[in-house]
Amino acid sequence: MNEEIKQPEKPPAANQRTRLNTFNPGPLYAWPMGIWFIIFFLAPLLIIIIYSFMKKGLYGGVEPVFSLNAYSQMLNPKYGILVIRTLKISLISTVITILLATPCGYAMARSKHQTLLLFLIIIPFWTNSLIRIFAWMSILNNDGIVNQLLRKAGFIKDHLQLLYTQGAVILVSVYMYLPYAILPIFTSIDRFDFSLLEAARDLGATKAQSMYKVLIPGIKSGLVTAIIFTFIPIFGAYTVPLLVGGKDSYMLGNIIVDQVNKTRNWPLAAAFSMVITVISTIGVMLVLISNKNEAALNKTSTKEDNYVSDKTSSGAAK
Amino acid sequence: MMKKAFIGIMAAVMVCGTIGLVSCSKKGSEASAEAGDDGNFAGQTLYLFNWTYYTPDSVIQKFEKEFGVTVKVDTFDSNEVMYAKLKAGASGYDITFPSQDYASIMIKQNMLREIDLSKMPNKQYINPEVLKKATYDSEMKYCVPYYMGAAGVAVNKQKVKNYEKSWNIFARTDLKGHMSMMDDMREVIGDALAFQGHSVNTLDDAQLESAKNLINKQWKPNLVKFDAEGFGKSFAAGDFWVCQGYAEVVFGEVPEAKQADMIDFFIPKEGGPMYIDSMVILKNAKHYNLAMAFINFIHRPEIYAEFLDAFHFPSFVNTEASKYMKTVPMYKAEEMANCELKEDVAEGLEKYNNIWQEIRFEAN
Amino acid sequence: MNTNSYFALKKSLKKSKPPTENATHARKSWKKRNPHLSFSKTILFLTILLLFIPLFVIIIYSFNSSKGSDFTGISLIWYKKLLFGSGDLWSALWNSLIIAFTSAVVSTILGTLASIGINWYRFRGRSFIQTISFLPMVLPEVIIGVSMLIFFSGIKMPLGLFTIFAAHTTFCLPFVLLMVSSRIDEFDFSIIEAAHDLGATESQTMRKIVIPAIMPGIMSGFMMSVTMSLEDFVITFFVSGPGSTTLPLYVYSMIRFGVSPVINALSFVMIIATCLIAFTLRKGLKSFAGNR
């Protein structure tokens, strides 16, 4: 690699060795995506915000009259039950998913067959999700494989109601989002310095201790990403509770869809979305900020110090 | 440094441009609108927005062949979703198939184009009884009836032996854990209202309250779920023994050989909600004449019979077609004698909404 | 390993005693005898099994001689129908693949660049971009779908493959951004400074150091985008135009009348095709996954 880097005629002067006087490539990298969002997302976003403050049109749509009806409708305590139920199901699903995904990511990162394993994880997900949900329905139903096995083993006589329960929603949600959790964790563990673990063992830690105290903090950003990728989609999920859930599995995602379609109350759907968005944004920001604080304590070189547009210090803060 | 970003942006632009060009050129290659006044439609494409499978492939292919055109079908599985999409601005479709309440909404919202009855000689086959019931548009100004039917109850004869052909089958606690009703507000509340002898379109608070109590206290505890999609599968698998829903869903999942032994489909004697699906032409349709030709084509008795055969439907809308039918219908039109058309209740929908929420949100 | 973490480690482990000779020997010899057995590997194996169980069910039912949930016998009729009677299905699949691929490429490029820009540099508008790029992930799909439809109709853009492509790219971007960012977060920035000090230009640094190092993150982001785009139903339903059906739309519309096992047959064919492609490209993919 060295021979390919052009040797300059003379080394840059000391006060020019820093990058501050040269231009900051940050905006150039980030703005293309920013422009994309401005073109394709800003207007829809504004539409959502504006609609949530308008009066519901009788046949769907909105009437151009300012109204806080949607938000006041949301305060209905019945919705509270739903939100709690949705939170409970999403949290349980997320916890199970992460508990499964972390050892998987670890085993994958340490394996010699990374590409193969990556593909094994991803391939099922290029089959249409509906078909896979149907497959689960036929596995879990009263005469499905699980019940048949349980009957043959003598555990039950008739059948266990597995399908159309909250448990089924959790199981299928975990199934659907496992790869979305495994990927970031794997990416993060891949980068992890495993000699740290060896050092821990040599210092006297048990395996569990070394995992918990060394590995987990080291892959924190990957874990956070995995949690975000799992919790948020499951929280807003609609198809899974619809198909495999029972009468006790009506969740927030179902309500919002029903508001748009069945009750034709677009402002309420928009208002719900705004609230979900604000809460999720706050939650994620809190996590990311605490993440950054910890990272700042551990890092040897803080990149932030270098590329601030108006500082005058030079080099890294080693 | 600039190069990488520049390349990235160029690549993105090229990709966008290509796709944009492709989709634009697709549009440009079509024949201009309003062609076909002379009856020559060659080269045009008709766009249907239809319930899945509602018009059999064989019928569509016959139409394509006879008129030398292509037919493209986009599908939906509920009126609400079809309406939401069209209301939000989707365009490009020529014909869609709303049920009666949404047909009247679409008329009121000015989303439809008038039917030119002079282009439809086959209107003579349409049963005037149906038109009488179609109070939302009995002169076929905007809507041409496609099919009239009702949701009913499918019972697994092998598992349930003695039962009354009534909506109150859902109150039977011995069948608990093996029954389902559709996740459809107007249908379920309508069934309760009909059972109690009221109109399915009532806005009377006392009647609605008593219907709600019936559902919540007597029916819901015995149900496994409210399911408008998968109950056919569960019925066929033997999980559900009694399902409220559309006959074609159940018949579609149970293999032909087992249907006669397994399924008893009936429309309860108390009546209940029924529907009339119509063909309508959207206001911004680009192929009006071709659309009229299609509507006319559907009501040719032998073609309509093909449609009925595909679903084992009874031939109420187009009685001439019964002469060409090759199958036995799943239920008879007479069973719908006590049924009532679901109408659009306008602001009253709020009342139904609130009741439905009280039914749906509780876990039990 | 760096000094900070070593000392932190030492501090937190102060309380435990160092292992005895025997214990260390025991651990190392067990590892020698059972190099393949470990808790994490077992979980990985079970997880992969779990992921594939529904696939086995799907494949088995693709050979079912009848349409319903009863397995009545083995037959190839659905494969025949797949090959000969399913023009609509294949064009829906083709649409899905084109859209998935192009939106994944665009969102990966835009997202990777943006991740580098956002994570390493400060500039005006940075927090605006961070916030707005996060939103498509959080908003419910149905709302995104309806609002984009209203927007597209408002600017009179015809619905079709392009609108689906635009919508898919938009909602895949936050995921790519997060995936690449989590990789970048662990990247030791001093390497970049070293490169600059040695005289490398920005482009060289990018091409030879940064991109290869974060390539696993980029590839993961790309694969996630493809997956999510292939799967999406709700948003696609609203922004698709007449005749631009994608695979999920096609399948979902069949729900009420029973999904034909032709889809099962198609799924099996797709799995085989994906495996074949992965197999032929494995050399290239190895270098992407980080040279292990």
Instruction: Look at residue B76 and tell me whether its pLDDT is greater than 70.
Output: yes
Name the strand (E) or helix (H) holding B112.
strand B112-113
**Which token pair is C23?**
């214990």
Name the strand (E) or helix (H) holding C134.
helix C126-138
Q: What is the pLDDT of residue B227?
A: 86
φ/ψ of B54, rounded to 5, equals -60, -40
Of A228, A234, A215, nearest to A183 by C-alpha is A228
Query: Any idea which architecture B45-148+275-329 has in CATH?
Result: 3-Layer(aba) Sandwich (3.40)
- Spans of all domains in chain A: 57-298
- List the single best residue of C5, C51, C214 to mutate versus A (max A Cβ within 10 A): C51
Rounded Cα–Cα distance for residues C235 and A40 (Å): 14
pLDDT digits (tens, 9 = 90+) for B213-248: 999 999 999 999 898 878 888 888 888 999 999 888
User: How many C-beta atoms lie closer than 10 Å to residue C139's C-beta?
Assistant: 26
Q: Nearest by CB to C223, which of A122, A178, A224?
A: A122
Cβ-contact B265, B153 below 8 angstroms:
yes
Supply the DSSP string of chain A, one letter for each residue: -GGGSPPPSSPPPGGGSSSSSS---HHHHHHHHHHHHIIIIIHHHHHHHHHHTEEEPBTBSEEEEE--HHHHHHT-HHHHHHHHHHHHHHHHHHHHHHHHHHHHHHHHHH-S-HHHHHHHHHGGGGS-HHHHHHHHHHHHSTTSHHHHHHHHTTS-SS----SSSHHHHHHHHHHHHHHHHHHHHHHHHHTS-THHHHHHHHTT--HHHHIIIIIHHHTHHHHHHHHHHHHHHHHT--HHHHHH--TT---HHHHHHHHHHTS--HHHHHHHHHHHHHHHHHHHHHHHHHHHHHHHHH-SS-HHHHS-TT----S---
C19 touches chain A (CB under 8 A): yes
Q: How many Cβ pairs within 8 Å bridge chains B and C?
A: 129
A positions 109-168 inside 8 Å of B (CB): 134, 137-138, 141-144, 161, 163-164
Supply the DSSP string of B222-275, one letter for each residue: GEEEE-SSSHHHHHHHTS-SEEEE-HHHHHHHS-HHHHHHHEEEE--TT-EEEE
Rounded Cα–Cα distance for residues B304 and B321 (Å): 6
Q: Quick one: average pLDDT of C13-36?
A: 65
Domains, chain C: 87-288 (1.10.3720.10)
B225 strand-pairing partners: B180
Neighbouring subunits of B (3+ Cβ pairs under 8 A)? A, C
Of A16, B7, A30, A24, nearest to C202 by C-alpha is A24
Instruction: Look at residue B171 and tell me whether its pLDDT is greater than 60.
Output: yes
A84 touches chain C (CB under 8 A): no
pLDDT digits (tens, 9 = 90+) for A155-209: 777 777 888 889 999 999 999 999 889 988 888 888 788 888 888 888 888 877 8
Q: How far apart, in Å, are the Cα atoms of A104 and each of A93, A109, A120, A184, B159?
A: 17, 9, 12, 11, 45
B234 touches chain A (CB under 8 A): yes
- CATH domain A57-298 topology: MetI-like fold (1.10.3720)
C243 touches chain A (CB under 8 A): no
B52 touches chain A (CB under 8 A): no
Residues making up chain B, counted from first to last = 364
Instruction: Look at residue B3 and tell me whether its pLDDT is greater than 90.
Output: no
- List the single best residue of A17, A24, A41 to mutate versus C (max C Cβ within 10 A): A41
pLDDT interval class at C218 (50, 70, 90):
confident
Mark A91-107 as b/e (b = at least 16 C-beta within 10 Å): ebbbebbbebbbbbbbb
Residue A37 neighbours by CB under 8 Å, 6+ apart:
C129, C132, C133, C170, C173
User: How many C-beta atoms lie closer than 10 Å to residue B158's C-beta?
Assistant: 13
Beta-carbon separation of A25 and B5 below 8 A:
yes
Q: What is the pLDDT of residue A7?
A: 52
Considering only CB atoms, which chain B residues are within 8 Å of A36? 12
Chain A: residue nearest B230 by CA? A243
- List the single best residue of B14, B239, B344, B351 to mutate versus A (max A Cβ within 10 A): B239
Chain A: residue nearest B77 by CA? A261
Lowest mean pLDDT among B315-319, C67-71, C182-186, C200-204: C67-71
Supply the DSSP string of C142-172, one letter for each residue: HHHHHHHHHHHHHTTPPPSHHHHHHHHHHHH
Beta-carbon separation of A6 and C199 below 8 A:
yes
**Which token pair is A94?**
């997320």
- List the single best residue of A7, A31, A115, A219 to mutate versus C (max C Cβ within 10 A): A115
Considering only CB atoms, which chain C residues are within 8 Å of A138? 57, 61, 69
Instruction: Look at residue C33 and tell me whether its pLDDT is greater than 70.
Output: no
DSSP B31: P
C105 touches chain A (CB under 8 A): no
Q: What is the pLDDT of residue C224?
A: 85
Beta-carbon separation of B19 and C254 below 8 A:
no
B166 touches chain A (CB under 8 A): no
Q: Nearest CA of chain C to the CA of B132: how many Å?
A: 30
pLDDT in tens, chain A (318 residues): 444 565 555 554 444 444 445 667 888 888 899 999 999 999 888 988 888 888 888 777 778 888 888 888 888 888 888 888 998 999 999 999 999 999 898 888 888 887 778 888 888 887 888 888 888 988 888 878 888 888 888 877 777 788 888 999 999 999 999 988 998 888 888 878 888 888 888 888 887 788 888 888 878 878 888 888 888 888 888 889 988 888 888 888 888 888 887 788 888 888 888 888 887 778 777 777 776 776 666 554 444 444 443 333 343 333
Of C158, C167, C161, nearest to C94 by C-alpha is C161
Residue C25 neighbours by CB under 8 Å, 6+ apart:
none
Beta-carbon separation of C149 and B85 below 8 A:
yes
Chain C: residue nearest A179 by CA? C224
C289 against C150, higher pLDDT? C150
Q: Decide if B45-148+275-329 and B150-274+337-361 have a common fold.
A: yes
Q: Nearest CA of chain A to the CA of C57: how many Å?
A: 6
- List the single best residue of B13, B19, B47, B286 to mutate versus C (max C Cβ within 10 A): B19
Q: Quick one: average pLDDT of C226-231?
A: 88
Q: What is the pLDDT of residue A193?
A: 80
C positions 211-230 inside 8 Å of A (CB): 216-217, 220, 223-224, 226-227, 230
**In one letter, which amino acid is C103?**
S
B positions 92-121 inside 8 Å of A (CB): 105, 108-109
ipTM of the predicted structure? 0.77
Beta-carbon separation of A123 and C275 below 8 A:
yes
Q: What is the pLDDT of residue B142?
A: 94
Q: Nearest CA of chain C to the CA of A156: how many Å?
A: 23
Rounded Cα–Cα distance for residues A306 and C189 (Å): 10
Q: What is the pLDDT of residue A239?
A: 85
C120 against B324, higher pLDDT? B324
Q: What is the pLDDT of residue C8?
A: 61
Q: HSE (CB half, 13 Å, CA atoms) of C13? A: 27
Q: What is the pLDDT of residue C129?
A: 86
Mean pLDDT, chain B, rounded, equals 85
**Which token pair is C10?**
């030492």
- CATH domain B150-274+337-361 topology: D-Maltodextrin-Binding Protein; domain 2 (3.40.190)
A positions 33-72 inside 8 Å of B (CB): 36, 58-61
C260 touches chain A (CB under 8 A): no
User: How many C-beta atoms lie closer than 10 Å to residue A53's C-beta?
Assistant: 18
**In one letter, which amino acid is C165?**
F
Q: What is the pLDDT of residue C288?
A: 52
Q: Quick one: average pLDDT of B290-294?
A: 94
- Spans of all domains in chain B: 45-148+275-329, 150-274+337-361
Q: Quick one: average pLDDT of C43-64?
A: 88
B91 touches chain C (CB under 8 A): yes
Q: Nearest CA of chain C to the CA of A249: how many Å?
A: 18
